[in-house]
């Protein structure tokens, strides 16, 4: 009897442990939910300024995930344009097909939206707000229960064709910036440096020019002097002569 009692106590503990664990499991009941599988609602953007001028559109692929039980059959879902946050014009600034589908036995799909490069993007940024619409097959209730930051039925896409100065371009009170060697920041100036250097893409130069401002400043200065001496000075888009930074004056 003593041996029997010794083994019965651990057995009772194990039964109790697994019973508790089973009851603690999170189960999703009711309709499954769809959400945009992205870092946050405001994490998507399209910046045409870093792309070649001949690039006239960009297709953004937004992952959509299923929360809950997988479906036994394909089910369509709708993506609505949120008029309260959208400032871009449908058909002019973007194109979105009307209906999408979550495949049977799958937990992910993709929403594709084509962003169009229009002239107005060079002067102002615009927004496209999208929202997954609840339907007979899908509900947003599970998203409210989960309350996770990366599980939202809404998303905002920021689109622009404005090229901002690199992080280290502007001189501050505590540090000389890239402008000390290359002067005023313009997209045309960076495009010219890419042409002169002829080893990097525009994106690579934009990302790394702050690390070698003196080198690229000298390349620009020598080229501008050559063109000026040949009687073909390089002009900025506003008609003013392109110049290097004050280091070369």
Per-residue pLDDT, 63: 94
Statement: residue 2 has pLDDT above 90? no
Statement: residue 23 has pLDDT above 50? no
CATH homologous superfamily for the domain 33-160? hypothetical protein (bacova_03559) (2.60.40.1740)
Write the pLDDT tens digit of every residue in 197-227: 989 999 999 999 999 999 999 999 999 999 9
Per-residue pLDDT, 101: 92
Residue with the larger pLDDT of the pair 19 and 6: 19
Write the pLDDT tens digit of every residue in 105-138: 999 999 999 999 999 999 999 999 999 998 888 8
Whether pTM exceeds 0.85: no
> Would you place residue 6 in the very low, low, confident or very high pLDDT band (cuts 50, 70, 90)?
very low
Per-residue pLDDT, 103: 94
Task: Tell me the torsion sign for CA atoms 33, 37, 41, 45.
Answer: negative
Mean pLDDT of 88-93: 96
Statement: residue 30 has pLDDT above 90? no
**Do the strands 44-47 and 154-160 form a parallel or antiparallel pair, or are they unpaired?**
parallel
> Would you place residue 25 in the very low, low, confident or very high pLDDT band (cuts 50, 70, 90)?
very low
Residue with the larger pLDDT of the pair 3 and 204: 204
Mean pLDDT of 142-148: 65
How far is it, in rounded angstroms, from Cα 39 to Cα 65? 13
Per-residue pLDDT, 149: 59
CA distances, 156 to each of 80, 83, 146 (Å): 12, 11, 21
Domain residue spans of the chain: 33-160, 179-248
Please state the separation of Cα 225 from the chain's center in Å.
40
- DSSP secondary structure, 104-126, as one string: TT-SEEEEEEEEE--GGGGT--E
- Which of 43-57, 64-78, 138-152, 225-239 shows the highest mean pLDDT? 225-239
Residue with the larger pLDDT of the pair 11 and 207: 207
Please state the separation of Cα 75 from the chain's center in Å.
28
> Would you place residue 53 in the very low, low, confident or very high pLDDT band (cuts 50, 70, 90)?
confident
Mean pLDDT of 9-20: 46
Q: Could you report how far apart the first and last alpha carbons of the chain are, in Å?
A: 101
How far is it, in rounded angstroms, from Cα 124 to Cα 139? 36
């Amino acid at each position: 009897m003593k041996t029997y009692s010794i083994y019965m106590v651990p057995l009772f503990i194990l039964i109790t442990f697994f019973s508790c664990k089973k009851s603690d499991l999170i189960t999703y009941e009711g309709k499954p939910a769809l959400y945009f599988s992205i870092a946050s609602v405001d994490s998507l953007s399209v910046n045409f300024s870093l792309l070649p001028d001949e690039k006239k559109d960009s297709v953004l692929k937004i992952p959509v995930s299923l929360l809950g039980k997988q479906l036994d059959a394909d089910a369509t879902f709708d993506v609505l344009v949120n008029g309260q946050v959208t400032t871009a014009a449908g058909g002019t600034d973007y194109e979105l097909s009307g209906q999408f589908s979550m495949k049977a036995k799958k937990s992910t799909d993709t929403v594709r939206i084509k962003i169009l490069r229009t002239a107005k993007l060079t002067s102002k940024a615009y927004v496209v707000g999208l929202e997954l619409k609840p339907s007979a097959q899908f509900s947003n209730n599970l998203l409210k229960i989960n309350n996770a930051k990366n599980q939202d039925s809404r998303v905002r896409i920021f689109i622009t064709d404005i090229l901002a100065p690199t992080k280290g371009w502007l001189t501050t009170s505590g540090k000389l910036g890239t402008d000390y060697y290359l002067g005023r920041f313009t997209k045309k100036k960076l495009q010219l440096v890419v042409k002169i250097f002829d080893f990097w893409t525009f994106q690579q130069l934009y990302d790394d020019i702050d690390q070698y401002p003196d080198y690229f400043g000298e390349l620009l200065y020598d080229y501008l002097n050559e063109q000026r001496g040949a009687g073909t000075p390089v002009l900025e888009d506003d008609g003013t002569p392109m110049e290097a930074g004050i280091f070369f004056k």
